[in-house]
Amino acid sequence: MINFLKLFFFTIIGGYSSFLANRGIAIFNHQLRSSYGEYRYNDINRKELYKHAIKLGVPFILGAMLPISIATNLLSFYIIFVISDIIGLYFEKTIKGTFLSCLTGAIVAGSLSIIFDLFMQYFPTIFTIDFMSQLGGIFGPILMCFALIPAVAIGIEHGPKKSLSACFITLLIYILTLRFLPNLAVGTAFFVGTLIYLLLSIKNKKKVEFNNEQIIQFKDNIEIIRKNKWFLTIMGGILAAGSYYFIVSTDVLAQILLSVGSGVQAGFVMLFITLSVIPKVFNSSSESGAFNPIGYGFSIMIGYFATYINGTLGLVVAIILGLCFAYLEATSFKVVANFLDKRQSMRVMGENMRVSSMVVLDFSLLVGSMLVANNIYPGVGFIWVFAFWFINRNSQKKYVQQIAIGPTSIILMGLVINVLKMLNLLI
């Protein structure tokens, strides 16, 4: 069955983000956005920029986001935004080119949504040994280890002693909450861990002037973004609505949480992701004059948090706040610069939380993948997954991103054992 609500959001966002990329209003990929500044100043031509978009985007789609999408049964919007960048830059910045960008982006995004849904519905049925339905089990450990992300991040900045103390408190809160409010145990423990890190971070009041200097140096580019604020505001409302329905996701960890219905936890993830990417988006946007179609990510975060409010009211709140946050993101460069300059500790905190989440995610997915693989093929699954994980981790050239090696290795193993079963060679 085709999910028409999902199809609607994929089509609208795919077409609209292709429009934004074509006009140079918003580019999703951070590195590509920086390159757009070179294009704006005629250092490179549009054809070179288009080739750069393919080079940056396609490997990560195939090596990371597609396997994760299959494992979570949710097509990541990271894929849609990267493809929209490519489509938008392929066509010339003319009225005809803009129209073709919108049309092509909408058709491609909508088609991908349908193809993915049909693939996930019918592809597993062709195999004698079912392995696709078990892929979701690899996320079990990360759902439990999620609460430890702040404690690990504290260790990155403040050392092992404070990290162990935070870990002990986090586990204690988790155990106590699990006894009385089991559904809130992980989220509560994560919140307490984050609060501990926040209290440690606010002591640091180191101030710099780098970002305010960025505003002065690139004031013309920032003014371009301000003039395009309404285009960006509209996208914020659309993203908030799509996030409210658990359709829009651009981060691996948030997508995993959405796949099991943990919208509020996904909101917390988007909060520290947003804090970690603000400097990167701020710098690349001010240098290029093109913003990010998802802004800093607050609109998506709001959509996830709004799921706590049931019914139409939650959707209305998500859209209104999504519009407001997107507007503020596009017009508050001075405020953001002051925040980044005065609160360096908050920027570092966001970055460390992001690094911590990737470390926890990597090893949790390894454990989950080994457990699932061993259920599919007892006695072989453990070593199969570990072999792929270890080889990929130590390879200079990675064809598959480390976070996706677990589901990728299971899919490969599933295909192999089904072929062996068909040939009557499976032991």
Calpha distance 304→188 (Å, rounded): 16
Model confidence, pTM: 0.88
Chain centre distance of CA 249: 6
Q: Could you tell me the CA-to-CA distances from 184 to 55, 94, 138, 344, 364 in Å, in that order? A: 42, 52, 21, 32, 20
Token pair listed for 244: 């409210």
Calpha distance 296→51 (Å, rounded): 26
Instruction: Give the pLDDT of residue 187.
Output: 79
Half-sphere exposure of 138 (CA within 13 A, CB side): 36
DSSP of 184-242? GHHHHHHHHHHHHHHHHHTT------HHHHHHHHTHHHHHHHHHTHHHHHHHHHHHHHH
Which amino acid would we find at residue 329?
E
Calpha distance 402→393 (Å, rounded): 7
Calpha distance 7→103 (Å, rounded): 15
Instruction: Give the pLDDT of residue 50.
Output: 93
Calpha distance 420→422 (Å, rounded): 5
Q: Is 94 helix (H, G, I), strand (E, B) or coil?
A: coil
Calpha distance 357→389 (Å, rounded): 18
Which amino acid would we find at residue 189?
A
**Closest to 18 in 3D by CA, of 95, 109, 115, 94:** 109
Across the chain, which has 427 residues, the per-10-residue mean pLDDT values are 90 97 94 88 88 90 89 93 96 95 97 94 88 88 87 91 93 90 82 87 61 75 93 97 94 88 86 83 89 95 92 94 96 83 73 87 91 92 92 84 90 93 84
Q: Which residue has the tokens 């003014």?
A: 223
Chain centre distance of CA 77: 8
DSSP state, residue 24: T
As to burial, measured by CB atoms within 10 angstroms (0-12 exposed, 13-18 middle, 19+ buried), residue 412 is: middle
Token pair listed for 417: 């054992």
Instruction: Give the pLDDT of residue 322.
Output: 97
